[in-house]
Structures are given as structure tokens and as C-alpha cells.
Amino acid sequence: MCGIIGYVGKEPAAPILLESLKRLEYRGYDSAGITVLNSTLETYKTVGKIADLESILPAEIKANVGIGHTRWATHGRPETRNAHPHVSSGVSVVHNGIIENYLELKEKLTELGYVFESDTDTEVIAHLLHHNMNNGTPSCDLLAAMHKTVRDLEGSYAIAALCCNEPDRVVFARKDSPLVIGLGETGNYAASDVTAFLKHTKNVVFVSDHEVGYILPNAIRIYDPEGKLLEKSPETIEWDLEAAEKSGYDHFMLKEIHEQPTSIQNTFAGKLMELEGTVRMNELYLNPEQIKHLRRATIVACGTSWNAGILGKYLFEKLAGIHTDIETASEFRYGNPVLCGEELTIAITQSGETADTLAAVRSSKSYGCRTVAITNVVGSTITRESDSIVYTRAGPEIGVAATKTFTAQLITLYMLAIHMGRTRGVITADEAKDLIVNLKRLPGQIQRILNRKEKIKECAQQFADKRDYFFIGRYLNYPVALEGALKLKEISYIHAEGYAAGELKHGPLALITEETPVVAIATKGHTYDKILSNIKEVKARNAVVIAVANEDDKEIEKYADMVLRIPASHEMTSPVLSSVVLQLLAYYTALAKDCSIDKPRNLAKSVTVE
């Protein structure tokens, strides 16, 4: 995610801001910038690394107050004009999060005469703050303007702001994006992560949702939404710097598993129209008639993205009535695909740089197919190669084994399928509403899984010495089985295979022994009775069965040796929950074996060569 730092104190601000931004580099970013306040605001920003930002700074900046930012692009390409901070006539702002209603706000502000210099959602905050400070009777200070401004914002935000008329403070606000205050001996800090200031202080105050406040050189003030001053006691952070970069988690992978409630919410933010029973997909450059006349869709992807694509195939066929093929991108262009102009190619790539997937998109375009890319990286190569780009908003993923990017891809595929299904008249508004409601429940349901992960850890430790694992599932749970097996083999180096459960008797049963744990995804749905039969098959061969099942399923314990529970959920959305369980199973297995979890051997995060 993006990184924020604000400082007010006795020391020169610029070196502290730069040092803090370097501490936040692990979060991933594509541009950086700072604003310092002396007698006027001075803003410096650029695309690239913090070293590039340092190179454009004057030799000496005497200001003792400032804000800084590292940006991971979500709205607008990685360009200097889109980098933070954003300025509006004496007000400077940095922001993490997504403002869902920024287009409506931008239209209103444009009518009021404000000129936008960027493509970002953040710039509306700067202009709103300026407007709210200067157009009241009487005019107000930056804190009062922040209170007014956040009432108009829909979405998530952590905001830090400066005003040239208030040279001794940084004003902040928070909702759904982290923000923490550091209390230092020579000044105070506001940051998205304690890593930013941990070298200077371990005394912190955590800002909660909907709170607004400011830091002074020797004091802080925090208020509730009604303007009531809050009394908050400082806490002491015991982390070292390496642990702090991981927010206290032992590994980036575990941190990223725990970020999934947020990454999923960010991915569907502003798109799910529950009352209308529709999904807003403004970035999809296909008009209704084109969607109605689609003959076929082809999904191309590699690795984890390919597993997501298999679920996408089922979703498009079930919800949108579109015949859909799933192709391994590395093989696609060598197979002489039969394509035409009334077909759609959907490319899924976390990095947007996967060489095989890029080649498949280029091949599809040569046949006249329309192309849609699902990617996590704004400005990546695939965004220039495809007709439409749908971004997952998972934020940077450091661990090589994909976790939050996988579930963000699944959410995007659900949204595309519902959007196309409604457009084609395959599903009704009520059916779409039901699915939308259940998608919105996923963040909370995932949090419940995370809150009781000890059972999964115990299971992983019990079987960590096994050489082989089978994962089985049917229909929507088949791609979950494939992904569960991939995660386990990637980071624990245990040989694992994922199968469509009905295929067991066609060969794989020969490999089943009492030394082969079998993970069966046995969630409620129309294939539930079938998976129970498959469980009986492997039990008859003395295998130990670990079932992933709904928490209200009382029958499954009659068939399985161990049960890992997910919250009761809609059949169509349960694969997302089961995937989180299997991510934790893989993580704790690798942990028990003392494997290199974040950087497994022989693997890279992005495969940019064939």
C-alpha cells in the first residue's frame, strides 16, 4: 500500500521525511514526494525511487514541518503529476485509500472553478479542504475544514495535510486505512506504519476510524466525528525495524493473508450497486450490445492466476451464459487458437508483466478479439496492450506465493460475471442482489477465519512431515483444490496435487495410502453429496481426510478425520473463504518445516520471460 509520513518538530523536516519514506519502501511504490512548510509550501515529487526524489531537492531545506508519500497507483498512471502531495492554493495533502465518490466531487469542484492537475482521487481532498476553509462565514481553520471534508468522502482514507497559514501543525483523518501517531523527544509524527518513525520513537497512539486531529511539535489532539476531544493513552511498540515492516507478522505472506479483508473490500469498493442489483464496471470498454453478442470468452493466465481463471470459467457460464475456455497462457499461442471478432479474451496477471500472458493477449488481438486485462499494477505493460483494464486493488504483494492478489482476482471475476449476466439478461436483479450481498459479507467472514486460525495451525503441524498431499474438490471447489495444492508445494516443498474429485477413480486413487493426507473441500452446495462419496473412496484406502466445511455442517465429522471450518456462506462465494483456509494451512506447514516462506527456492514474484 501507499506510505504516509508527517512530521512537526525541532529538527529539519526534509531529511526525516526522506528517511521515513525509505522505511516504507517495502510496501511497494511507483512515485514519491514531499511538501515542507517554511513561509510557503514547497512541494517536490517525481516518478521513480526515493533516490530520484532526493536528486531534485535543494541542497538545504530549513523547514521543520512537512508531509511525505510513496504512491502505489490506483487512480491514474504512475506519472509525476499523479504523485502525492497534491496542492490547492496553500493546502497540501497526502492520502492512502480510495475515494469512491471522487468523480461526483470532482464535477462539483470543477463547477466551482477548481482546476485539476492530476487523474487521482486524492486531488479532490485538497480542493475540498481549500473550499471548506475559505467559503464559510466565517472562514475556518484546517482542522474544522477536515471535519467538514471527511463528511463528504465515501470510501477509505488516511489523510495528512498542511496549510501555509498554520505552520506549526499537520492535520490528519482516518477511515479504513491505517494511521498511527509517534510521540518523539524532538517532534511528533503521523504515519501509515510505525516503521516510518520507529528509529526515533516507540511511543505511539493509534488513530481509530472516523477520528480527526493534528500533531504539534510537543502535543497531539484527536477528536471524534462530533468534534469532542478524546483522551488517548500512548502505547509502547516492542518491534524491531524488520518486524515493523511486516506490521509485527513473522512473514510478509502471513501479513498479506491478514490483509485480505481490506484488499477485497478495496477491490469491490464503489462497484457493487446492491439496491439496483448491478455491478458498476465503468472501466470495461464494451457496450451492452457488444456484451449481448459475445459468442465466447477465453481466459488466459499462468499459475495462481490460471486457477482463478478456472473459477472465472464457471462463473461466466453460470451467471452470464457465455461459453468460456480457460487456457494456459504459455501454451495458448502455440496451439493455433480458433478465434474471431465476436469473442473476448480475458487476461489475468498480478504483475501485468507476465511474458506468456502478454504474448497471448497480442495473439488474440491479431484475430480481432476484444481484450480485457485483470491486473494489480497500474501502468504495467498489459495495461497498454489490452482494450480494457480492470484493476484489482490488493496493493503490493511482497511474498512470492500469491494470497491477497488471488482472492482479489476472484472478486473481480465475480463482478465481471454479474455485470455481464445482468446485461445479457441471464440473471435477474434479485439474483444479482443476493450475490452482491454475499460478496459484501466476505471481508467479515474472512476475518472470522483469521481470528480462529489456531485450529488450522494445529492441523498443519500434525501433518508437516508427510511427503505427499492430495487436494480434491468438485465444480467451484475444483480450482480451490488446485490453488491449495499449489500453495503447499510452493512454500513447504511437499509434493501436492489438486484434482477434480470425480477423477480419483481414473488413476490417482492408485497413489492413495495411509501416509497421504487428503484435503477435501466439502462446502455446502449442489455437489456436496458427491464430495462425500469421494471422501468415502479415499477413506476406504486408509487415507486421512482433512475436510474444509461450513461451520453449520454437522454431518461432515462422520466422514472426515479433521474439519477446518468456514462461516456458513453462499455456494457461489464459499470458494473465496476456502482459499483463505488453505493459504493458512500451507503457511503453517511451511513454518513447521522452517522453510523460506516469503522467498521459496527457484521461484520469482513475476515471470517476465518465457
Q: What is the CATH number of the domain that holds 376?
A: 3.40.50.10490
pLDDT for residue 501 is more than 80: yes
Q: What is the pLDDT of residues 86-142, one digit of tens each?
A: 999 999 999 998 899 999 999 999 999 999 999 999 999 999 999 999 987 678 899
Q: What pLDDT was estimated at residue 601?
A: 86
Q: In terms of domains, do 329 and 420 share one?
A: yes
Q: In terms of domains, do 79 and 178 share one?
A: yes
Q: In terms of domains, do 502 and 514 share one?
A: yes
CA distance 121 to 95: 9
Q: Which domain holds residue 402?
A: 249-442
Q: In terms of domains, do 102 and 157 share one?
A: yes
- The cell 496492450 sits on which residue? 385
For 281-311, letters b (16+ CB in 10 Å) and e give beebebeeeebeebebbbbbbbbbbbbbbbb
Q: What pLDDT was estimated at residue 316?
A: 98
Give the residue from 218, 245, 272 where a domain finishes: 245
Q: What is the pLDDT of residues 235-268, one digit of tens each?
A: 888 777 766 778 789 999 999 999 999 999 999 9
- DSSP states along 102-166: HHHHHHHHHHTT----SS-STHHHHHHHHHHHHSSSS---HHHHHHHHHHH--B-EEEEEEETT-
- What are the strands of the beta sheet with 41-47, ordered from one edge? 41-47, 31-37, 65-71, 3-9, 187-191, 180-183, 203-206, 235-236
What DSSP element (H or E) covers 71? Answer: strand 65-71
pLDDT for residue 6 is more than 70: yes
Is residue 610 in a domain? no
Q: In terms of domains, do 545 and 584 share one?
A: yes
Q: In terms of domains, do 241 and 260 share one?
A: no
The count of structural domains within the chain is 3
pTM score, two decimals? 0.82
Q: In terms of domains, do 234 and 262 share one?
A: no
Lowest mean pLDDT among 208-217, 291-300, 390-399: 390-399
What are all long-range contacts of 360-366, with beta carbons under 8 Å and residues at least 24 apart? Answer: 360/300, 360/327, 360/329, 360/332, 360/333, 361/300, 361/385, 361/386, 363/332, 363/333, 363/337, 364/298, 364/300, 364/337, 364/339
Q: What pLDDT was estimated at residue 604?
A: 63
Give the residue from 418, 442, 466 where a domain finishes: 442
Mean pLDDT within 331-345: 80
Is residue 353 in a domain? yes
Phi, psi (rounded to 5 degrees) for 396: -65, 140
Q: In terms of domains, do 427 and 478 share one?
A: no
Q: In terms of domains, do 367 and 503 share one?
A: no
CATH number of the domain residue 146 falls in: 3.60.20.10
Give the residue from 245, 261, 294 where a domain finishes: 245
pLDDT for residue 608 is more than 50: no
Q: What pLDDT was estimated at residue 239?
A: 72
Active site positions, annotated: 2, 605
